[in-house]
Amino acid sequence: MTLNPKLLLVDDDRRLAESMADWLRYQQFSVDQAHSLATGRRAIQEHSYDLLLLDLRLEDGDGFELIAETKRRQPDCAILVLTGYATPSTAIEAVKAGAFDLLTKPLVDEELSHALERALAQRNIEAENEQLRAQLDSRFGLEHILSHDYRMLKIFDVIDSVADARASVLITGENGTGKSMIARAVHKRSNRRSNPFVEVACGALPDNLLESELFGHVIGAFTGATTNKIGKFKQADGGTIFLDEIGTASQAFQVKLLRVLQELQFEPLGGTETDTVDTRVILATNENLSHAVTSGQFRQDLFYRVNVINIELPALRERAGDVPLLVDHFLREVCEATGRDVQGFDRDALATLQAYSWPGNVRELENVVERAVLLARDSVLTRHDLPPQLLASSGQPQSVIGSVASSGMQSNDPDQPQTLREALEEPERRIILESLRSHNWNRAATADTLGVNRTTLYKKMKRLGLDDPRLQFMGAEAH
């Protein structure tokens, strides 16, 4: 328990309040008293408290007003309500207003003590969760990229390894997987972080405008060019330029881009002077550039130049274990932006979200969460708050789980002899699986516990059939 938790006791029965305050101080609480709604509100405005213990019926007003004031000013303060007229509807109303518990007068010392302990324990858990979220954001999140999927953790390691290199980076993956965020993460982790990060959507511009956008132009270079313009490459000098949708570039533009990547030199459109820049180039595409090279749509020499370091982002359906983490993040963001009080999705709704294929990936998930929060009528969201396409596509996850449970397992047929390797693999698989479960599938923590490096753990997981993300949703009985 927190050392000498600070508690505000609000009750207009002075004799009862004095007696209760003495008992609370004996229980190592630091107690302030207020005997009206007005003095209670003043105390909340002037001091901070771990706990608020108040009577609902006060001489000068309703205790619910003080609950609302406390939740607004001190959201971490745990609230316990006292009443001599408790009904089921009163209890429900108090909890909805933000109370942790409702106690009925006359109070029993042991009952009050347990209630206070539970309230403080819950408060401490919430504080620890916030701390863990902050740690997750700072290490495993990399600039708000939230994931504990082992493929994403490997990508985070790559980002840390190549952040300071001058080589170009090619980010591939479906639309909505977060290619722009990965590009920003590379920049933020690099020694260029204090210099500009410039993003250009290459697919949104025709060739002549794209060349002007990237390399700039001089007066008279084309109709309407009435002033000199500095291009994005020059703006990103000393920093990073991110060229999104590079797979859409024309052959003519690819030739010019190749020269810039090789020499970091270019001439503004219509100009004769050569500019030289120190710019890190990151590119992204949702297309298969290898196939584009084979078909002649993308230059082979440019492909080899941009594909020095390739970061391939998995689709959200391939890392469904990240769905709850992302849902919680987007939910908190939307609630903070809109002022809505939504606690989260219930178990059935979350299972539906995890079973969906997410063709629009993380971007689609964010939109679904925002829609659910904005249209919500209750504080807990259900399947009915999800869009129709999610409900229509939800299948039978049990059959999928069954197939995963059998994958990576050795045959139990007594008539089929096991090799020595097979006999040794099953105990190893069981040990790794139990450690993964105990660490909530955090691969880094698992590797530390098992005394191996992460690369070794990844290889063992793949060899033993533990690299399927669906295993994260299966109970221990399935294994």
Residue 295 lies in a domain: yes
Task: Check which CATH number belongs to the domain holding 346 and give it.
Answer: 1.10.8.60
- pLDDT average, residue stretch 440-467: 82
Tell me if 219 sits within 8 A of 177, measured CB to CB. no
The H-assigned helical ranges of 137-188 are 150-162, 179-188
Confidence band (pLDDT; 50, 70, 90) for 418?
A: low
Q: Give yes or no for residue 313 having a pLDDT over 50.
A: yes
Are residues 298 and 432 located together in one domain of the fold?
no
Question: Residues 194, 308: one domain?
Answer: yes
Question: Is the separation of the CB atoms in 419 and 111 below 8 Å?
Answer: no
Once rounded to an integer, what is the mean pLDDT over residues 31-35? 93
Within-domain flag for 402: no
Residues 377 and 279 in one domain: no
Tell me what the mean pLDDT of segment 158-184 comes to: 92
Q: 58-72: per-residue pLDDT in tens?
A: 888 888 889 988 988
pLDDT band per the 50, 70, 90 thresholds, residue 97: confident
In a domain, 1, yes or no: no
Query: Residue 395: pLDDT above 70?
Result: no
pLDDT of the residue at 141:
41
Residue 425: strand, helix, or coil: helix
Mean pLDDT value of segment 297-311? 93
Stretch 132-145: mean pLDDT: 53
Instruction: Kindly state the tokens that stand for 428.
Output: 């190893």
Range(s) of the domain holding residue 176: 150-312
* Statement to judge: residues 163 and 302 lie in one domain: yes
User: Is the predicted pLDDT of residue 399 greater than 60, yes or no?
Assistant: no
- The verdict on 157 and 266 lying in the same domain is yes
220 and 84 within one domain: no
Residue 21 and residue 17: Cα distance in Å, rounded?
Answer: 6
Least confident of 6-10, 201-205, 382-386: 201-205
Q: For residue 406, name the pLDDT band (cuts at 50, 70, 90).
A: very low
322 and 307 belong to one structural domain: no
**Residue 322 and residue 461 in one domain:** no
As a whole number, mean pLDDT of residues 50-58 equals 89
Q: Is residue 175 part of a domain?
A: yes
Q: Say whether both 159 and 265 belong to one domain.
A: yes
Residue 404 lies in a domain: no
Whether 145 is covered by a domain: the verdict is no
Count of structural domains within the chain: 4
CA distance 187 to 458: 26
% of residues, the chain, pLDDT over 90:
39
**143 within domain boundaries:** no
Nearest to 174 by CA among 250, 247, 253: 247
What does the DSSP 8-state code read for residue 419? P
What are the CA-CA distances from residue 88 to residues 98, 282, 431 (Å)?
16, 60, 48
> Is 308:297 a contact under the CB 8 Å cutoff?
no
Last residue of a domain, one of 75, 101, 133: 133
226 and 270 share one domain: yes
Quickly state the pLDDT bin for 414 (edges 50, 70, 90).
Answer: very low
Of residues 346 and 88, more confidence is placed in: 346
Angle, to 10 degrees, between the axis of helix 420-438 and the axis of helix 454-463?
Answer: 120
Whether residues 346 and 249 fall in one domain: no
Instruction: Determine the residue type at 155.
Output: I
Phi-psi region of 28 (alpha: psi -120 to 50; beta: other; left: phi over 0): left
pLDDT band at 40 (very low <50, low <70, confident <90, very high): very high
The answer to whether residue 138 scores a pLDDT higher than 60 is: no
- Tens digits of residue pLDDT in 342-386: 999 998 899 899 989 999 999 999 999 999 999 988 899 999 999
For all residues of the chain together, what is the average pLDDT? 84
> Quick one: tokens of 330?
């987007």
Is residue 142, in this structure, part of any structural domain at all?
Answer: no
Domain boundary residue among 285, 312, 339? 312
Q: Residue 57: helix, strand or coil by DSSP?
A: strand
pLDDT above 70: residue 404: no
User: 291, 312, 333 — which closes off a domain?
Assistant: 312
Looking at the structure, do residues 308 and 320 belong to the same domain, yes or no? no
Residue 384 has phi, psi (to 5 degrees) of: -70, -15
pLDDT at 405 over 70: no
CATH number at residue 446: 1.10.10.60
Which tokens belong to 56? 């609902």
Token digits of residue 199? 């993003």
CATH code, 118:
3.40.50.2300
> Could you give the CA distance from residue 200 to residue 49 in angstroms, rounded to a whole number?
50
> Across residues 123-133, what is the average pLDDT?
73
User: Residue 186: what pLDDT?
Assistant: 92
Q: Which of 160, 50, 44 is nearest to 116 (CA)?
A: 50
